[in-house]
């Protein structure tokens, strides 16, 4: 097999996530590569890139929580909600550090958030920024996001730097604009660095420029996370080679078959991973019946195989 796994790139500012993936593909000579969560051109930091078989995991990894280090610039409103856009208004922020801190900490919790007009969210197959640049207004449905935690790092007016932990799909520039409006002076995002995406962090991140010298699999290996290891939240069902081969060939296991294996306590709808003894990932599946129902299920399909892997 070729290079199968996930590497973490420390994305530089000024390029798109798609640009980074293209550079990774060329530098490592891999056929397939894909990232697990778009970072705006302005942003830097953790960008997990899936190689070859790992591209099948993108749909699962994109659901991971994220953590960012962000800088809010008060007193400036822009059309993109960040400092890369056209300035719509400027005013002196007449607020105290305490007021800024309170407004930022008040972000914690669940909230409705509408994707910015300049974003990669698709509408009828085109990203919103494409519609916006054409001068076409597109109605977007607000999405529920959750801000898990906010930590204030520094407040030096007119700027405030903070760390935010949040659910997938959260737009930090929208949060900055919201805080600006709460404080009555407007605001925009002036710097953003993603420090964590799921189980991936900056500690293992590579610069794109360092990839050519890691083109040999042996050199890249220390930086390559295995397919099974990047799904730490999924219960693992260890299977033998015979069942692994059947799964790869389209077999949907029945309760009677799975009852022979050690199945941890699982409920209907839980997503699980099938692995071999050497921790190679065989398949990701969704439980169709609970663990305690496997024996009684008999010939009934017990799980729905979502993806199979030739790792």
- Residues annotated as catalytic are 40
- CB under 8 A, 24+ apart: contacts of 242-251: 243/274, 244/274, 244/276, 244/282, 247/274, 247/282, 247/283, 247/305, 247/308, 248/282, 248/283, 248/308, 248/309, 248/310, 250/305, 250/308, 251/305
Buried-exposed string 210-220: b where 16+ CB fall within 10 A, e elsewhere: ebeebeeeeeb
DSSP bridge pairs for 165: 67, 149
State how far the Cα of 171 lies from the Cα of 178, in Å rounded to an integer: 11
State how far the Cα of 310 lies from the Cα of 305, in Å rounded to an integer: 14
Q: In whole angstroms, how far apart are CA 65 and each of 61, 168, 240?
A: 9, 5, 33
DSSP bridge pairs for 287: 303
Q: What angle do CA 163, 168, 169 make, to 5 degrees?
A: 100
């Amino acid at each position: 097999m070729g290079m199968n796994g996930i590497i973490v790139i420390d994305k530089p500012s000024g390029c798109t996530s798609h640009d980074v993936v293209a550079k990774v593909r060329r530098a490592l000579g891999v056929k397939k590569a894909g990232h697990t969560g778009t970072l705006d051109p302005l942003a830097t930091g953790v960008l997990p890139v899936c190689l070859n078989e790992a591209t099948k995991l993108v749909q699962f990894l994109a659901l991971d929580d994220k953590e960012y280090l962000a800088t809010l610039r008060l007193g400036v409103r822009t059309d993109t909600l960040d400092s890369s856009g056209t300035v719509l208004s400027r005013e002196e922020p007449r607020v105290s550090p305490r007021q800024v801190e309170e407004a930022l900490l008040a972000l914690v919790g669940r909230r409705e958030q509408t994707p910015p007009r300049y974003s990669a969210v698709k509408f009828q197959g085109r990203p919103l920024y494409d519609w916006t640049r054409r001068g076409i207004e597109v109605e977007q449905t607000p999405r529920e996001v959750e801000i898990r935690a906010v930590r204030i790092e520094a407040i030096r007016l007119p700027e405030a730097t903070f760390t935010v932990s949040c659910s997938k799909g959260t737009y930090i520039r929208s949060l900055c604009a919201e805080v600006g409006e709460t404080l009555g002076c407007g605001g925009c995002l002036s710097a953003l660095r993603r420090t964590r995406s799921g189980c991936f962090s900056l500690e293992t991140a590579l610069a794109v420029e360092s990839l050519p010298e890691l083109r040999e699999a042996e050199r890249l290996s220390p930086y390559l996370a295995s397919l099974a290891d990047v799904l730490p939240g999924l219960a693992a069902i260890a299977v033998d080679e015979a069942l692994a081969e059947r799964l790869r060939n389209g077999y949907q296991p029945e309760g009677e078959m799975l009852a022979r294996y050690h199945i941890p306590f699982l409920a209907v709808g839980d997503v699980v991973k099938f692995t071999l003894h050497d921790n190679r990932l065989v398949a990701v599946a969704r439980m169709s019946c609970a663990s305690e129902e496997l024996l009684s299920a008999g010939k009934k399909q017990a799980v729905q195989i979502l993806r199979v892997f030739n790792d």
